C-alpha cells in the first residue's frame, strides 16, 4: 500500500508524463515511482541512432534525464536541472531496452542531487548519470 507521499509522487509524475511530449516520443514507460525515486524504461528504435550506427548519446541521456526529473520533482516542488554529468560505459543498439533508475543522494532545501543508473536488458550498465537540481518552491499540480 502506498503512503501519502508516494501517492503524491505518483500523481506528480503522471501529470508530468502527460505533458512531456519528448518522453512520449521516446515511448518511455514509467515502471515505479516513490518519493524522491523513479524507474522508467524504453525500447531503442531505429530513429534513435547516431552517425556511428549506435544509439545517439542524447537518447541515453534523455531517458536518464526524464528519470531524474520524475524523481526530483515528485514532492511537488518544481525543480530544474542545473548540472548533469554522464559517463558512457557500454554501447546501446537498436532493439535494446534500457532502464533508468533514479535514486536521491541529497534532498536539500534549495538543491538536490540524484544518481541515475542506466542498464540494458541484460542488466549490463550502459551509463551512469549524476544530476543536481535547483528547487524553485513552486508547485507542479
Residues near a copy of itself (CB under 8 A) are 15-23, 25, 46-53, 56-59, 61-63, 65-66, 69, 73, 78, 80-91, 105-106, 108, 110-111, 113, 115, 125, 128, 130, 132, 134, 140
In terms of Cβ atoms closer than 10 Å to its own Cβ (0-12, 13-18, 19+), residue 82 is exposed
Nearest distance from C-beta of residue 71 to a copy of itself, angstroms: 13
Q: How far is the CB of 2 from a copy of itself (least distance, A)?
A: 21
Q: Which is nearer to a copy of itself, 1 or 138 (CB)?
A: 138
Residue 56 CB, shortest distance to a copy of itself, in Å, is 4
Angle at 4 between CA 28 and CA 110, to 5 degrees: 75
Rounded least distance, CB 140 to a copy of itself, Å: 8
Q: Are strands 29-34 and 79-88 parallel, antiparallel or unpaired?
A: unpaired
Q: Tell me the angle at which helices 57-72 and 4-19 cross, rounded to the nearest 10 degrees.
A: 140
In sequence order, what are the residues at sequence separation of 6 or more whose Cβ sits closer than 8 angstroms to the Cβ of residue 85? 129, 130
1 vs 46, beta carbon nearer a copy of itself: 46
Residues pairing with 102 in the sheet: 38, 116
34/111 with CB nearer a copy of itself:
111
Amino acid at each position: 500500500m502506498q503512503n501519502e507521499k508516494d501517492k503524491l509522487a505518483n500523481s506528480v509524475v503522471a501529470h508530468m508524463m502527460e505533458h512531456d511530449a519528448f518522453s512520449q516520443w521516446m515511448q518511455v514507460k514509467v515502471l515505479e515511482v516513490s518519493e524522491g525515486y523513479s524507474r522508467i524504461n524504453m525500447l531503442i528504435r531505429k530513429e534513435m541512432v547516431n552517425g556511428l550506427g549506435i544509439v545517439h548519446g542524447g537518447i541515453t541521456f534523455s531517458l536518464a534525464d526524464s528519470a531524474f526529473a520524475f524523481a526530483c520533482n515528485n514532492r511537488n516542488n518544481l525543480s530544474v536541472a542545473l548540472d548533469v554529468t554522464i559517463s558512457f560505459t557500454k554501447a546501446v543498439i537498436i532493439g535494446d531496452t534500457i532502464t533508468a533508475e533514479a535514486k536521491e543522494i541529497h534532498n536539500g532545501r534549495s538543491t538536490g542531487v540524484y544518481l541515475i543508473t542506466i542498464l540494458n536488458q541484460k542488466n549490463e550498465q550502459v551509463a551512469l548519470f549524476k544530476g543536481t537540481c535547483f528547487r524553485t518552491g513552486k508547485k507542479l499540480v
